[in-house]
Amino acid sequence: MTLRIGVIGTGAIGREHIRRITNNLSGGEIVAVTDVNADAAKAAVENYNLNAKVYPDDVSLIAADDVDAILVTSWGPAHQQSVLAGIAAGKYVFCEKPLATTAEGCRQIVDAEIAHGKRLVQVGFMRRYDSGYQQLKRAVDERFIGEPLMIRCAHRNPEVNEAYTTDMAVTDTLVHEIDVLHWLVNDDYTSVRVSFPKKTRHASSHLRDPQVITLETKGGILITTEVFVNCKYGYDIQCEIIGEEGIVRLPEVAGITYRKNAQLGVDLLTDWKDRFIDAYDRELQDFIDQVSKGGEPQGPTSWDGYIASVTADACVRAQESGQEETIDLGPTPEFYGGAAPLYSV
Ligand code: NAI
Ligand code: ISE
């Protein structure tokens, strides 16, 4: 059976996902699109040669009988309304991060999904589908390095635009580490501190860059992540887990080494789209495969979206206060219980 998908938001990542579902993946077809910018929606249909209807808004698209699942790729503040409408209609939902822009909004989605009684929602935290992170997860789960004690990460972008603000280093950028790290060690965050080293001259006047975010987990694991979004040299994601018996590191992205002009070199990536291109494919293929069978999506849940939001709020408070801030998630609802899986696609 082909999963009939409606796309809400045909901007940058919406178009990327349309392209991959149409050209690279199997089992899914884009049958409906909408965007507040109607021209963008029409252009997506034309550019990807889709046999899809353009709807005036998310509500009418979600109500369409021939739409089995929705892909929410609009701006963050619009996500909550579309996800809640999707759940109310009993449709499967793949929602890009953030699930909602407030913890309260995420909680409403969690409550609606629990009331519905079946998991319908997957959040687009694609790193869990990256083969490097999967190898790290396997090493942790199999106790290859014993108990994990510390994690050191870096999330570096070559540059950002003028609109990027200090809090976005958390809500837009660190949020991927927030999601993937608690999944990696199967633990919850309890507190966070943020410190600001000397500022780079490449950052705009209103942006504090770089910053170092230190999270602590219930089990006592200390996680430091450097977010540096004007690092200039490339897009660079680092992760090293230090355990009682050894250390494991995220593999470097494969690329040929070259000897030229008296130098030994390897090219680095500069664009996040390329770094996780396989992971984006795999997360969506997994979503399509699971829900086509009428099952539940196996990827990051609404509860993971809620964890990311509560944690991000505490990180932003810590940026502002300069103090340690508590992260209080409350008990995990039984509906989302159990250790998160190693996705096997
Ligand atoms: P974008 O600005 O390129 O596209 C957003 C599109 O949504 C625009 O075309 C806009 O007109 C449309 N839109 C806004 N409100 C709408 C509404 N109520 N109904 C229908 N359409 C609406 O933004 P981009 O980069 O595509 O990001 C979209 C989402 O994806 C964001 O939440 C962003 O955080 C997330 N994202 C996730 C990434 C990842 O690595 N997982 C990477 C990049 C973005
Ligand atoms: C962007 O919004 C993303 O989601 C990318 O995955 C991330 O690496 C980048 O830093 C963000 O700005």
Is 266 in a helix, a strand, or coil? Answer: strand
Pocket of ligand 1 (CB under 6 A): 8-14, 34-37, 40, 58, 73-76, 78, 96-97, 124, 126
Q: What is the residue with the minimal CA distance to atom 8 of ligand 1?
A: 11
Spatial separation of the C-alpha atoms in residues 220 and 204, rounded to whole Å: 36
Q: What is the residue with the minimal CA distance to atom 7 of ligand 1?
A: 74
How confident is the model at residue 339, as a pLDDT? Answer: 65
How confident is the model at residue 345, as a pLDDT? Answer: 54
Q: What is the whole-number distance in angstroms between the Cα of residue 1 and the centre of ligand 2?
A: 33
Are the beta carbons of 154 and 268 closer than 8 angstroms? Answer: no
Residue extents of the structural domains in the chain: 3-123, 131-269+322-336
pLDDT tens digit sequence for 21-80: 999 999 999 999 999 999 999 999 999 999 999 999 999 999 999 999 999 999 999 999
Closest ligand 2 atom to 175 CA: 4
CATH superfamily, domain at 131-269+322-336: Dihydrodipicolinate Reductase; domain 2 (3.30.360.10)
Summary mean pLDDT of the chain: 96
Q: What is the residue with the minimal CA distance to atom 42 of ligand 1?
A: 13
176 in ligand 2 pocket by Cβ < 6 Å?
yes
DSSP label at residue 199:
P
Segments of 146-235 assigned E as strands: 148-156, 189-195, 211-217, 222-228
Q: What is the whole-number distance in angstroms between the Cα of residue 184 and the centre of ligand 1?
A: 27
Q: What are phi and psi of 216, to 5 degrees?
A: -120, 145
Beta bridge partners of 33: 7, 54
Sign for the CA dihedral angle at 195, 197, 202, 206 comes to: positive
Angle at which helices 175-185 and 131-141 cross, to 10°? 30
Test site for ligand 2: of 173, 211, 275, most ligand atoms within 8 A of the Cβ: 173
Q: What is the residue with the minimal CA distance to atom 12 of ligand 2?
A: 173
Spatial separation of the C-alpha atoms in residues 208 and 187, rounded to whole Å: 29
Instruction: Per residue of the chain (345 residues), give pLDDT as tens.
Output: 899 999 999 999 999 999 999 999 999 999 999 999 999 999 999 999 999 999 999 999 999 999 999 999 999 999 999 999 999 999 999 999 999 999 999 999 999 999 999 999 999 999 999 999 999 999 999 999 999 999 999 999 999 999 999 999 999 999 999 999 999 999 999 999 999 999 999 999 999 999 999 999 999 999 999 999 999 999 999 999 999 999 999 999 888 999 999 999 999 999 998 999 999 999 999 999 999 999 999 999 999 999 999 999 999 999 999 999 999 999 999 999 876 777 665
Which residue, among 78, 88, 136, 140, has the nearest Cα to 109 in the 3D structure? 88
What CATH architecture applies to the domain 3-123? 3-Layer(aba) Sandwich (3.40)
Closest ligand 1 atom to 124 CA: 41
Q: What is the residue with the minimal CA distance to atom 5 of ligand 2?
A: 272
Burial class (CB in 10 A: 0-12, 13-18, 19+), 302: buried
What spatial distance separates the first Cα and last Cα of the chain, rounded to whole Å? 19
Q: How many CB atoms lie within 10 A of CB 220?
A: 12
Closest ligand 1 atom to 10 CA: 9
Pairing relation of β-strands 92-95 and 121-123?
A: parallel
Is 333 in a helix, a strand, or coil? Answer: coil
Q: What is the whole-number distance in angstroms between the Cα of residue 94 and the centre of ligand 1?
A: 13
Q: How many CB atoms lie within 10 A of CB 295?
A: 12
Closest ligand 1 atom to 172 CA: 34
How confident is the model at residue 239, as a pLDDT? Answer: 98
Q: What is the residue with the minimal CA distance to atom 6 of ligand 2?
A: 272
